[in-house]
Amino acid sequence: MATATTPSRRKSRLNRQGRAAHVFMLPWLVGLVGITAVPTLASLYLAFTDYNVLSTPEFIGLANFERMFADERFWQSVRVTLTYVLVSVPLQLAFALLLALILDRGMRGLTFYRSAFYLPSLLGSSVAVAVLWRELFGHSGLVNSALALVGIEGSSWLQNPQTALGTLVVLNVWTFGSPMVIFLAGLRQIPEELYESARVDGASVLRQFGSITVPLLTPIIFFNLILQTIGAFQAFTQAHVVSGGSGGPVDSTLFYTLYIYQQGFTAFDMGYASALAWVLLVFIGVMTAGHFLLSKYWVFYGD
């Protein structure tokens, strides 16, 4: 009798637990559907419409996508964003790896340094830091004050189209903490015996780095590369705050996301903004897929 009722009770308990799991998932599910999935699908529809936020969207087929080809500011935003990604992501990863290698040597106060270096990652995309950046690189900012001490008269780094984007690259590189922590974790996974063997064989530090560290770290490098690249394509706050939302001077900091924002919320051209957003989404998707395809040639999982 007891053996006959036990599976039933267990099944009932599992059902109750299943229901409980669904109830607890409900808030998240509501958020996913209501705040992410539905607006995403809505924007896909809006990408094929003429929609000014206030009136009823009017279906116009591929016109928004065709418009991009002749839109000089669209191409400028593509150039700015690609430059930013191609320059800032490798620099950031290189800097993060360098710091991780230094911290991996087991120096005193490691916990403090790790936390201190991680801090900019938490602050880097904040409005406060972007405002700070504006003050640092302004005409009378700290950078020019420091240059003045050695007799160099600087101009406003943010008002020069040749240097404005560079300041944002520096800001992104400064937020190296997040990839650094991941690199550090990866470095800890590399067996010490490999280095000992290499040293016995007379390998230099550089040779050890090139033949042991980098190959065994490639999965981590790959992970960081994907994460930081996607993040860089979506960079917005820094450019918005530093340029006052204009992407200036003369569109030199017109990030793609900033252009989407301008079209949607300033020009009330939400249909076009939706189309731009979908182009970015598809591009990031294709680029990420490309990264995965190429990864088999340079990422070593050790299995």
Nearest to 49 by CA among 260, 268, 277, 274: 274
Q: Would you give the binding string for another protein spanning residues 81-120, x where CB under 8 A is met?
A: ----------------------------------------
Nearer to another protein, 147 or 250 (CB): 250
Q: Is 90 exposed, middle or buried (0-12, 13-18, 19+ CB in 10 A)?
A: middle
User: What is the rounded distance in angstroms from the CA atom of residue 13 to the CA atom of residue 4?
Assistant: 15
Nearer to another protein, 90 or 249 (CB): 249
Residue 155 interacts with another protein (CB under 8 A)? yes
Give the number of other Cβ atoms within 10 Å of residue 170's Cβ: 17
Q: Contact region for another protein (CB under 8 A) — 101-109, 132-140, 214-222, 224-232?
A: 132-140
If binding means CB under 8 A, how many residues of this protein chain bind another protein?
Answer: 38
Residue 52 interacts with another protein (CB under 8 A)? yes
Among positions 159, 208, 237, 288, the unique one binding another protein when judged by CB under 8 A:
159
DSSP string, 241-291: HHTTTS--STTTT--HHHHHHIIIIIS--HHHHHHHHHHHHHHHHHHHHHH
Q: How far is the CB of 96 from another protein (least distance, A)?
A: 32
DSSP string, 71-107: -HHHHHHHHHHHHHHHHHHHHHHHHHHHHHHHHTT--
226: tokens are: 């994907």
Among positions 5, 102, 122, 161, the unique one binding another protein when judged by CB under 8 A:
161
3: tokens are: 């053996």
Q: How far is the CB of 52 from another protein (least distance, A)?
A: 7
Residue 266 interacts with another protein (CB under 8 A)? yes
Q: Which of residues 236-265 bind another protein (CB under 8 A)?
A: 244-246, 248-251, 262, 264-265
Among positions 5, 10, 11, 20, the unique one binding another protein when judged by CB under 8 A:
20
Q: How far is the CB of 1 from another protein (least distance, A)?
A: 21
Nearer to another protein, 11 or 16 (CB): 16
User: What is the rounded distance in angstroms from the CA atom of residue 221 to the CA atom of residue 298?
Assistant: 10
Nearest to 85 by CA among 269, 225, 232: 232
40: tokens are: 């995403």
Nearer to another protein, 120 or 245 (CB): 245
Nearer to another protein, 110 or 250 (CB): 250
Q: In the chain, what is the straight-line distance between the N-terminal and C-terminal CA atoms, in Å? A: 51
Q: Would you give the binding string for another protein spanning residues 276-295, x where CB under 8 A is met?
A: --------------------
| SS3 label, residue 25 | helix
Residues that bind another protein (CB under 8 A): 16, 19-20, 23-24, 26-27, 30, 34, 50, 52-55, 138-140, 155-156, 158-161, 244-246, 248-251, 262, 264-270
